[in-house]
């Protein structure tokens, strides 16, 4: 059993950490306050491989292993929740299905521009006004065949990156029966006629990560834009979400680490009753709990990424890692504010923003309740 990162992973971690410390973290407050996407940093990410983490090099990606990919998202989360969410969604949710299920022709057509140095982004559209946790029963966006095209009608909600993406991967109903083989994934260029992108959602946090509702009115794309098999969209989406959950777990660990570091720093500076608050046992306990929980969460995320790297089944582990890491992050960020006292409630200190940002992590890419459902299903079938 070897718990050490290999040389390549360590070097990649250092590279990403330095980049984030220089280009992402210093702008995190501005990104949040102005609600502006950090394009200046994202445009520099292509050459570092951050826009095509697990995309094979032959298609212009970095081709890093899943542990390195998780580390990259964790580092981005440490720097800025908004930027990290956009990059995680681009990599795991949107590029993931093209890499895993796309035809050779689709990979050659779409991946080099999206994964390389062109600064193009993509998004994945699953959620709808009536479909979030229950995609199978809820998805109403239809795609029907007319000649050599799919005609897509419907609306999606909460699409991360929608307004800054060149390409959308959509989960559409291709069979009116509600069964598990009624949905398919289809690639849709964002400039297709008939697409309307709504205004940015007004959110509690992650304000520099654009989120939009999108409507599709007789949007026509070639039949060859079907990803994978017709009718296998739900299965492909659930597999995509397994990988996405490693990313969200990693992002949550990064956010927690950042809040923890702020709490340590503040606890050494602030004095009450004649000594730094770090010397009060109650504060030490919050810090000790945070350190312990972050370590456990990180190990679960890395372990799941390792399972993926070894091509072993990781659905249950991904649900556990996402559930644990995101709930740990919420506790750690909550207590980081506590350590700051009144100042923690002020936007002058980063912990206020990080707390707002991490709140999404127990909701997006499957709520905590859905993770528990996935875990319970697995353990109940394993032990029968």
Q: Which is nearer to ligand FAD, 24 or 162 (CB)?
A: 162
Residues between 270 and 329 that touch ligand FAD (CB under 6 A): none
Q: Give CA–CA dist 321/304, Å, rounded.
A: 7
From the list 44-52, 69-77, 172-180, 360-368, the region that binds ligand FAD by CB under 6 A is 360-368
Closest residue by Cα to residue 89 from 21, 42, 135: 42
The least CB distance from residue 360 to ligand FAD, in Å, is 5
Nearer to ligand FAD, 112 or 364 (CB): 364
Which one, of 290, 293, 295, 296, lies nearest residue 278 by Cα?
A: 290
Strands 149-160 and 271-272: unpaired
Cα(72)–Cα(61) distance, integer angstroms = 14
Nearer to ligand FAD, 67 or 159 (CB): 159
Q: How far is the CB of 205 from ligand FAD (least distance, A)?
A: 8
Cα(293)–Cα(299) distance, rounded to whole angstroms? 10
In the bound state, the residue with its beta carbon closest to ligand FAD is 132
Instruction: Closer to ligand FAD by CB, 144 or 376: give it.
Output: 376
Residue 11: alpha-carbon gap to chain centroid: 23
Q: Please identify which residue in 369, 376, 377, 379 interacts with ligand FAD, judged by CB under 6 A.
A: 369
CB of 328 to ligand FAD, least distance (A): 18
Q: How near is the Cβ of 76 to ligand FAD at its closest, in Å? A: 16
Q: Which of 262, 293, 327, 365 is catalytic?
A: 365
Q: Which of 141/225 has CB closer to ligand FAD?
A: 141
What is the size of the binding site for ligand FAD (CB under 6 A)?
Answer: 23
| Degrees to nearest 5, angle at CA 258 with 255 and 260 | 110
Per CB under 6 A, the list member of 155, 349, 367, 378 interacting with ligand FAD is 367
Q: Residue 194 burial (CB < 10 Å; 0-12/13-18/19+)?
A: middle
Side-chain-side CA neighbours of 381 within 13 Å: the count stands at: 6
How does strand 142-146 pair with strand 226-227?
unpaired
Q: Which of 220, 363, 375, 378 binds ligand FAD (CB under 6 A)?
A: 363
**Region binding ligand FAD by CB under 6 A among candidate stretches 25-33, 224-232, 271-279, 361-369:** 361-369
Closest distance to ligand FAD from the beta carbon of 183 (Å): 13
Residues between 122 and 181 with contacts to ligand FAD, criterion CB under 6 A = 123-127, 132-133, 158-160
**Between 206 and 337, CB nearer to ligand FAD:** 206
The Cα–Cα gap between 234 and 207 comes to: 29
In the list 338, 373, 375, 378, the residue contacting ligand FAD (rule: CB under 6 A) is: 373
230: annotated active-site residue: no
Phi and psi, residue 195, nearest 5°: -95, 130
Distance of closest approach, residue 240 Cβ to ligand FAD, in angstroms: 10
Instruction: Report long-range pairs for 269-275 (Cβ below 8 Å, ≥24 apart).
Output: 270/340, 270/341
Using CB under 6 A as the binding rule, the residues of this chain from 86 to 105 that contact ligand FAD are: 89
Binding to ligand FAD (CB under 6 A) within 206-265 occurs at 206, 211
Phi, psi of 275 (to 5 degrees): -150, 160
Both tokens of 290, joined, read 């945070």
Does position 203 interact with ligand FAD (CB under 6 A)? The reply is yes
Among left, alpha and beta (phi > 0; psi -120 to 50; other), residue 206 is: left
Q: Which is nearer to ligand FAD, 126 or 283 (CB)?
A: 126
**Nearest approach, Cβ of 285 to ligand FAD (angstroms)?**
30
Residue 323 to residue 329: CA distance in whole angstroms: 10
**Structural contact between residues 307 and 314, judged by C-beta atoms closer than 8 angstroms:** yes
**Looking at the annotation, which residues are catalytic?**
365
Q: Which residues bind ligand FAD (CB under 6 A)?
A: 89, 123-127, 132-133, 158-160, 203, 206, 211, 360, 363-367, 369-370, 373
């Amino acid at each position: 059993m070897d718990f050490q990162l290999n040389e390549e992973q360590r070097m990649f971690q250092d590279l990403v950490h330095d980049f984030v410390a220089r280009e992402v973290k210093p702008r995190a407050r501005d990104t949040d306050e102005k609600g502006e996407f950090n394009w200046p940093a994202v445009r520099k990410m292509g050459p570092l491989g951050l826009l095509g983490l697990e995309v094979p090099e032959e298609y212009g990606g970095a081709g890093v292993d899943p542990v390195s990919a998780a580390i990259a998202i964790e580092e981005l989360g440490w720097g800025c929740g908004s930027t990290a969410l956009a990059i995680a969604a681009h990599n795991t949710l949107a590029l993931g299905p093209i890499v895993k299920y796309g035809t050779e022709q689709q990979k050659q057509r779409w991946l080099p521009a999206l994964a390389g140095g062109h600064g193009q982004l993509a998004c994945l559209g699953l959620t709808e006004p009536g479909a979030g946790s229950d995609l199978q029963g809820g998805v109403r966006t239809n795609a029907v065949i007319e000649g050599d095209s799919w005609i897509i009608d419907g609306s999606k909600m909460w699409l991360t990156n929608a307004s800054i993406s060149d390409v959308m991967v959509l989960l559409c109903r291709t069979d009116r029966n509600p069964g598990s083989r009624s949905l398919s994934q289809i690639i849709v260029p964002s400039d297709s006629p008939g697409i309307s992108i709504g205004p940015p959602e007004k959110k509690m946090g992650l304000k520099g990560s654009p989120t939009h509702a999108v409507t599709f009115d007789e949007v026509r794309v070639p039949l060859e834009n079907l990803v994978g098999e017709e009718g296998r969209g739900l299965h492909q989406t659930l597999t995509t979400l397994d990988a996405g959950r490693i990313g969200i777990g990693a992002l949550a660990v990064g956010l927690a680490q950042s809040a923890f570091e702020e709490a340590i720093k503040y606890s050494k500076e602030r004095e009450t009753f004649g000594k730094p608050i770090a010397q009060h046992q109650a504060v030490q306990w919050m810090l000790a709990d945070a350190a312990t929980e972050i370590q456990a969460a990180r190990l679960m995320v890395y372990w799941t990424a390792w399972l993926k790297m070894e091509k072993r089944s990781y659905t249950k582990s991904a649900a556990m890692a996402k559930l644990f890491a995101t709930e740990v992050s919420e506790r750690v960020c909550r207590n980081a504010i506590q350590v700051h006292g009144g100042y923690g409630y002020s936007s002058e200190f980063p912990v206020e923003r990080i707390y707002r940002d991490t709140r999404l992590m127990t909701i997006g890419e499957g709520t905590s309740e859905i993770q528990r459902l996935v875990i319970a299903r697995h353990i109940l079938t394993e032990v029968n």
